Amino acid sequence: MSLRMETDKAINVITEGAIEPWERLTDALAEQKALEASKSDEAADAGRLAVSICGLAGQFGLNSRDMAARSDGWALLSAAADASKNRLLSSAAKRTTLAVSAHFEADDDGGYRFINNRIMIVHPTMGSSEFLTTAANAIRFLIAELGLDLDWTPRILEGPPEFAPTVVLDAGPDPNYVFELLQVRFLKRNPDGDLVLFQPQNWQLELKTTT
């Protein structure tokens, strides 16, 4: 097999095993849905993606432990992958977890705009990191380690730009079940235009029922 064919094969493997699942996940998280904080399909997909990305390193003969020593992001993603594979073998207090929450932007007029659902990697010693960003950086790190000419610019998708007077989410067929496990976070733009954490005093949640 020629070097060009080997390179093309490596690019296809990374595209199918990492980039395309990452893009499907950002599509899913941009849907205005109420997701369970720790047991959603999206969190499970994130765990599988972490396993796939870290597994690609070994598939190409790279040392994942060495990569983790040189990249905090790779170390966090590796911890998430290990936790996803061994969820039943370790206690919640010790393992890395994936936590989902809906994020809304608040304006000065009492309106709310759905940004997206976000998955956080929560590690007992390394702290927390947003999953999509961490996974994207890990993919780009892997591409660089392999020396591949693969130009990929990850883009985390957001919901529509319109604000509404209530916090609206699609709760599926059983809003009561989702409500018990739902986490909502708010952000607001500071004078510099950056989104920062914010807690409104009064806000109304509207869970839409769909079949």
Query: In whole angstroms, what is the distance from residue 159 CA to residue 163 CA?
Result: 11
| Confidence label for 94 from pLDDT (cuts 50, 70 and 90) | low
Share of the chain above pLDDT 90, in %: 72
Given a contact cutoff of 8 angstroms between Cβ atoms, the answer to whether 59 and 13 are in contact is: yes
Closest CA to 69 of 87, 60, 83, 57: 57
Tokens of 68: 């983790």
Entry pTM: 0.90
Q: The sheet that has 195-197: what strands, in order across it?
A: 127-130, 112-123, 97-106, 184-189, 195-197
Q: Is the pLDDT of residue 88 over 50?
A: no
pLDDT of residue 5: 54
Query: In whole angstroms, what is the distance from residue 117 CA to residue 159 CA?
Result: 9
Q: Is the pLDDT of residue 119 over 60?
A: yes
- CA 13, 18, 23, 28 torsion-angle sign: positive
